[in-house]
Structure 1
Amino acid sequence: MSFGESARVEAHVAAPPERVWAALTDADSLAAWYWPAAGSPAATSDPVVGGRFGVRGDGMGFAGEYAELERPRRIVQSWRWDGDDRDSRVTIELTPAGDGTDLVVVHDRIDAATAEDYRAGWESCLARLPGFLASDSPPGNR
């Protein structure tokens, strides 16, 4: 099985990069918007190089480690679903654009079938981000 595939998703959100960064790295924010279908997910995040993050809910979850952090522009992290036997990698680029931020998410070191699943998952996840950022309780700037 080849693990040289990747999933790439692009999105634009009407919020400045610092707010988007906080939504991507703050545990309470991740629990609120990332995976609400999991009921009441629990999230952890220690946004320092070598720090861990994860989201768990409905008996499943994922976790990883921050490999690179260039606030508020770039996040590189390992990624592993519960039960997987190897890590993949996620790179998130944030670029100021007009009224907000352009995001590019590349999830790589995966096989072709997994790439399709992750692409759909990231699209679904990022579709929830603008609503969260527009809510009355935006993420903190940790």
Structure 2
Amino acid sequence: MAYDSSAVIESRVDAPPDQVWFALTDAAALTVWYWPAAMQPRAFSEPVVGGRFGIEAGDMGFAGEYRELDPPRRLVQSWRWAGDDRDSRVTIELTPSGDGTGLRIVHDEVDDDTAAMYRAGWESCLTRLPAYLAATPNAGSR
């Protein structure tokens, strides 16, 4: 099986990069926007290079390791869905965009079918992110 496909998702949110970075790397934040609250997700995150992160809800979940961190601009992490036998890679780039932030997510080192599944998953997650950001305007502020 060829693992040379990728899911590429581009989006923009009305929040500054520091706040979006916080939403992407804070365990409590991930439980609010990543999966629907009805699924009662649990998360952990140690946002340092080599630190682990993950989220689970019922029998679904994923975990990985932070490989690169350049707050609040870029993060690269390994990614393994529960039950998979190999890691994939997620690269998230944040760029200032007016009063908001542009996001570019590349989930690669996967096959075609998995890329399509991850694309749909990321798009679903990103539909909940704006509400979280609007409700927590000071999250990630220094």
1:47 shift after superposition: 0.1
**Runs ≥4 residues deviating over 2 A:** 136-142
Q: For residue 139 of structure 1, report the CA deviation from its aligned partner.
A: 3.4
Instruction: Report the CA distance between 1:36 and its aligned residue.
Output: 1.8
Instruction: Tell me which residue corresponds to 2:113.
Output: 113
Q: Which sits farther off after the overlay, 78-87 or 33-42? A: 33-42
Partners of 2:136 and 2:19 in 1: CA distance: 13
User: Does the CA contact (< 8 Å) of 1:65 and 1:78 recur in 2?
Assistant: yes
Identity %: 65
1:5·1:115 contact (CA, 8 Å) conserved in 2?
A: yes
Structure-2 separation of matches of 1:97 and 1:127: 18
- For the residues of structure 2 that align with 1:103 and 1:26, how far apart are their CA atoms? 17
* Distance in 1 between residues matched to 2:63 and 2:39, nearest whole Å: 18
Q: Deviations over 1:94-123 (max 9, x none)?
A: 000012000000000000010111111111
Q: What residue number does 1:17 align with? A: 17
Q: CA RMSD in A?
A: 1.5
Aligned to 2:57: 57
Moved more, 29-38 or 76-85: 29-38
**Which residue in 2 is equivalent to 1:72?**
72
Distance 1:107 1:19 in 2: 22
Q: Find the residue that maps to 2:32 and give its secondary structure.
A: helix
Which residue identity is paired with 1:62?
Answer: F
Q: Structure 2: which 5+ runs fail to align?
A: none
Contact 1:7 1:108 in 2 (8 A): yes
Q: 1:23 to 1:136 in 2, by over 3 A?
A: closer
* Post-superposition offset of 1:59: 1.6
SS of structure 1 residue aligned to 2:40: coil
Matches within 5 A, 1:38-53: 39-53=39-53
C-alpha displacement of 1:127: 1.3
For normalisation by structure 1, the TM-score amounts to: 0.95
- Distance, in Å, in 2 between the alignment partners of 1:10 and 1:120 is 12
Does structure 2 conserve the Cα–Cα contact (< 8 Å) formed by 1:26 and 1:140? Answer: no
**What's the TM-score once normalised by structure 2's chain length?**
0.95
Note if contact 1:26-1:139 (Cα within 8 Å) is conserved in structure 2.
no
